[in-house]
Structure 1
Amino acid sequence: MPNSSRRFRRFLLTASAVALSVVAGTLTAPAIAAPAALDDSFYVPPAELSGAPGDIIRARPSRPGTATEIADAWQIMYRSTDALGEPNAVTGTVLVPKGVDPATAPVVGFAAGTQGPAFRCAPSKMLQGQAFYEQPALDGLLRSGYAVAMTDYEGYSPEPATSYIVGRSEGHAVLDAVRAALRLPEAGLSDQAPVALRGYSQGGGAVMWAGQQQPDYAPELDLVGVAGGGVPADLVQVALPLEGKFGFGFLAYALIGLDNAYPELDLDSYLNDRGRAEFAKMEQNACTLELLIDYAGDSLSEYTTSSPVLTPPWLARVGENKLGGSAIPAPVLQYHASGDELVAPGQAETLRDDYCGLGMSLTWKAYDTDHITLVHTGSADALAFLADRFAGKPATSTC
């Protein structure tokens, strides 16, 4: 493609992404850093890990994004479990609404959508810098009187190694963030609090994984409901339509995430020189906006000597992270955009059918819109669903 045509394409895509970001509630501003008072050494895990999943490693007061008038916040590092079943340390944020008795507050495990691989993109950093694009959804939960436990997911540190889209790690991180919130003395929450989970896109997949894992991994939690939108349930079916398209940066990031979670996959052995340089640059610098703009329309052939996507080792690990293999014990709201250009609608419908086949209580909603718009427009229905679950109202299944 001539340079002038490529530049024009980038211009159009930039304008599109900025417009969509505004629709979602706020523009992700990668240049905004965390407050200087919050030392980044907080994110560096200790050399040795001890304790049980959900135990607090360290905590400090933090900022609730733009919700300073309605909530208090603490940043936490807590013990969790990676995709291989090994102990790891994960950071996150606990938020408690002001004017609410924390001892009686319900708790929502909030799983953020894609923020990007770079350290500065961690959800807690975006929140502190008032650049968290899901702030309106977070505010809705706080204004409803719910405490929130928001995970950063695994791997956000000054030397980032995030396990993006690896459900077996993300589900643990969500559940252990809730456990950590309940164990944080400053928050004052009850360990008997009813718990719900909510997330969209990456977060939608994470909360569905958490729901599937909860009976065995965190059976003490009183899980009353799960709301997940834009769910990437089958990574193969999500990845293939992104090749050469607007969302290619998400496909590339998913390869990085899988490689971080499963080192034997050896992504480097598939990359050419350009791929090594660009993937390293992505991991050090890219947040959501860069993923959408800088890599839009690219193809794996530009970055690899051979594609790992359909090789047996990669397919095996991807298969381990396919949703729908076990039931979620609480009522579920699953929603998706019929015009979703980033997370294929067909594979979400397959997950719906698989869950219904397992006898779950599932409410399915489809919206005539695109992926990024639904970040914002799906919030009201998700919030109403959780309110009914906390109120003890029976769910209406569409299965």
Structure 2
Amino acid sequence: MRRGLRGVAAATMALAMTLGLAAPATATTGSKPPPPSEDPFYTPPDPLPPGEPGQLLDEREVEVHAEPLRLLEVPVRSWQLLYRSTSATGEANAVSGTLLVPDVEWQGEGERPLVSYAVGTHGIGDHCAPSYAMRTGTEQEVALLASALSRGWAVVVTDYEGLGTPGVHTYATGQSQGRAVLDAARAATHLEQAELTGDGPVGVLGYSQGGQSAAFAAELHPDYAPELDIVGVAPGGVPADLTDVAEFNEGGPAFGLVLGAALGLATAYPDVPFEEILTERGERTVERISEACTAELGAAAPFGTFDQYTTLDDPLSHPEWQARLAENRAGQHAPEAPLFLYHGTKDQLIPYQVGRELRDRYCELGAEVHWQPIPLAEHITGVMAGGPLAISWLDKRFAGAEPVDSC
């Protein structure tokens, strides 16, 4: 059955692609499907059967749409996927996601390209998962998804570890997010109905949390998923150094995102001290954000500081935290695929300097980087301007054009 994905035009992207600053839209048609916590599809077999990363555990065809705006429509077939992946500590896990294949034919040469799309911050509660949002018409990033689909590309969107599936989402953990992005691409090629071949060209796109995920996918690709023919990776607004980002946001209006990242990392790495160092206020706040989506997460601790929520003034200086933060610092391994790296010069959440230093590290490692500052752009306008540029850059990679190297 053919389904429709209705996106929004570029003029509405500030509403549709908040990536951390606005509440999701409200669906206006039909009855909502059950949330992931009440949907057996999201619960994997326990224990997981033997297999390799990217192996499909389950799949089903679903309807996806975007409400209330209908300024752009791209007919697609869509499936939810449940697939094997790997945690930050190397353990097998199960991750959910969505595969979208447009009716639009691929006009280029060779096989239809596949994009593994990494979403920005959606929250930590299971009901925040993009696979659920696409079914309820509340997905915030439909504009770039629709732009990719309109070119004839297939797009697979991971939910990341613990977002939809049981357990707490390992928010801001690049090591697990990067693997989930790569394994989503593998899983997409294993779905026979999608008619995607395992040797077709693959691209990776992502901004903010998705930019972190895309960057880690690029770095992990040569060793973790070398069989994927990744021709380009476009990370934007990357929180490349979580320590720097946390320090920048301490005392700021979006400190709730820092607490969310701490919860995500502590979930990924049980050896770091977290629950035992929370104050009573911290316990209440963390309990609330563990079920929060984007808007509530960002606003959970306005102008907060670590000493208000933990018994340590500087918990990130703890040796276990330092070790795990170092593992999730982007720019330590050279990607084989060329990069389109972009960042708003006035980003109020992830400082421009963090993005520029990531560029420098990649250049020093010998990576091929097209660096694109977005002048005068803060976090949201950074993706409004930079996202279409990333799509255009990836379009050239699928066409076989040589990228410009800024290094």
For the criterion TM > 0.5, the same-fold answer is yes
Alignment of 1:110 with 2:108, yes or no, is no
Looking at structure 2, the residues matched to 288 and 168 of structure 1 have their Cα atoms a distance apart, in angstroms, of: 21
Amino acid in the other structure paired with 1:239: A
CA–CA separation in structure 1 for the residues paired with 2:16 and 2:39: 31
CA distance in 1, matches of 2:32, 2:285: 25
For 2:372, the equivalent position in structure 1 comes to 365
Report if the CA contact (8 A) 1:117-1:160 is conserved.
Answer: no
Q: How does 1:294-305 map to 2 (within 5 A)?
A: 294-305=300-311
- Given that 2:203 and 2:231 are in contact with CA atoms closer than 8 Å, whether structure 1 keeps it comes out as yes
Corresponding position: 1:395 with 2:393: no
- Cα offset for 1:65? 3.0
2:193 counterpart SS class: coil
Match of 1:22 among 9, 15, 18: 15
* Mapped pair 1:52 → 2:52: yes
- Could you tell me which amino acid in structure 1 is paired with residue 105 of structure 2? V
1:40 aligns with 2:39: yes
1-structure distance, mates of 2:208, 2:224: 23
CA distance in 2, matches of 1:305, 1:188: 54
Q: Which residue of the partner structure matches residue 64 of structure 2?
A: 64
Q: What residue identity is the alignment partner of 1:300?
A: F
Please tell me whether residue 289 in structure 1 is matched to residue 287 in structure 2.
no
How many residue pairs match? The answer is 380
- The C-alpha deviation readout for 1:11-65, integer Å capped at 9, x for no partner, is xxxxxxxx99527479642776952498622111221112100000001112333
Q: Which residue does the alignment assign to 1:12?
A: none
Deviations 1:282-324 (CA, angstroms, capped at 9, x unpaired): 102x111112233222222222122422111101100011111
SS of residue paired to 2:259: helix
Aligned pair in 2 of structure 1 residues 21, 253: CA closer, same or farther (>3 Å)?
A: farther
Per-residue deviation, 1:193: 0.8
Matched residue SS, 1:263: coil
- The one-character-per-residue Cα deviations of 1:340-372 (angstroms, maximum 9, x if unpaired) are 111121121111011111122100111121002
| 8 Å contact from structure 1 (residues 225, 386) kept in 2 | yes
% identical aligned pairs: 39
**Corresponding position of 1:95:** 100
State whether structure 2 residue 135 is matched by structure 1 residue 151.
Answer: no
Q: 1:333 to 1:111 in 2, by over 3 A?
A: same
Would the aligned equivalents of 2:54 and 2:84 in 1 still touch at CA under 8 Å? yes
Do the aligned partners of 2:83 and 2:94 also contact (CA within 8 Å) in 1? yes
- CA distance 1:36–1:83, change in 2 (3 Å): closer
Residue aligning to 2:6: none
Paired letter, 1:83: A
Aligned to 1:82: 87
Specify the code of the residue in structure 2 equivalent to 1:291: L
Q: Which residue in 1 is equivalent to 2:251?
A: 244
Q: Is the contact between residue 253 and residue 302 of structure 2 (CA under 8 Å) also seen in structure 1?
A: yes
Write the deviation string for residues 123-170 of structure 1: whole angstroms up to 9, x where unpaired: 111222221111100000000110011110001247541111111111
Structure 2 residues without counterparts, runs of 5 or longer: 1-11, 67-71
Taking structure 1 as reference, are residues 194 and 283 closer, same or farther at Cα in structure 2, changes over 3 Å only? same
Task: Quote the Cα distance in structure 1 between the aligned partners of 2:120 and 2:392.
Answer: 20
Q: Cα–Cα, structure 1 residues 360 and 28, in superposed 2: closer, same or farther, change >3 Å?
A: same
Q: Does 1:132 align with 2:107?
A: no
| Distance of 2:354 and 2:147 partners within structure 1 | 29
Q: Counterpart amino acid of 1:298?
A: G
> What is the letter of the counterpart of residue 57 of structure 1?
L
Q: Say if 1:111 and 1:203, in contact at 8 Å, map to a contact too.
A: yes
Summarize deviations over 1:182-208 as a string: whole Å, max 9, x none. Answer: 001121111111001000000011011
Q: Do structure 1's residue 278 and structure 2's residue 277 form an aligned pair? A: no
Deviation at 1:274, TM superposition (A): 1.8
- Mapped partners of 2:129, 2:182: distance in 1: 18
Q: Flag the 1:205–1:158 CA change in 2: closer, same or farther, 3 A.
A: closer
Q: Are 1:118 and 1:160, in contact at CA under 8 Å, matched by a contact in 2? A: no
**In 1: Cα distance, 2:25 partner to 2:315 partner:** 30
Cα 1:174–1:158 change in 2 (3 A) is closer
Mapped partners of 1:274, 1:76: distance in 2: 38
- Structure 1, unaligned runs of 5 or more: 1-18
For 1:20 and 1:68, the matched residues in 2 are separated by 15
Residue 195 (structure 2) pairs with residue 193 (structure 1): no
Residue 101 of structure 1 deviates from its aligned partner by 6.3
Q: 1:87 to 1:23 in 2, by over 3 A?
A: closer
Is 1:233 the counterpart of 2:240? The answer is: yes
Contact 1:24–1:373 (CA under 8 A) maintained in structure 2: no
